[in-house]
Amino acid sequence: MTPSVTRIRVRYAETDQMGVVYYANYLIWMEVARVDYCQAAGFRYKDLEVEHGILLAVTEATCRYLSPARYDEEVEITTTISRAHRRAMVFHYEMRSATTGAPIARGHTSHMFLNRDLRPTTLPEQFRRLLGIPERPTE
């Protein structure tokens, strides 16, 4: 699937005493971008959970901070799937200034598919197709 682009305007409440975005907010932005990615792929993240009982448990999250984002700045987050197979996937995020294109941060989140009992499961074929996940793992 092609990358998904999400735009976020930095809110005052997201900044710290130094006037820059507090580091934990980047993880929240990644979650917003991930939900947008699913929507762009053709399904709602919420429906995956509620109607199909598939949960995406985060098994790892990283963020490399490159330059500060500040209050009222618009940030563009480009989201892709960097690795995927039937039981797990990795989303990759590139955050840039929407005005200048300057890199702000990059990161990834790794996810395992769980059922309602929080047991590992496989992603149903209809969602694998929408997300472009092959039958065999990609590296």
Q: Hunting for tokens 């996940």 — which residue is that?
A: 133
Sign of CA dihedral 104, 112, 82, 34: negative
- Which tokens is 136 given? 């065999």
Q: Hunting for tokens 């790892």 — which residue is that?
A: 60
Is 47 assigned a catalytic role?
no
Count other C-beta atoms under 10 Å from residue 42's C-beta: 12
Catalytic residue among 16, 36, 72, 117: 16
| Residue 79 CB burial class (10 angstroms; 0-12, 13-18, ≥19) | buried
Known catalytic residues are 16
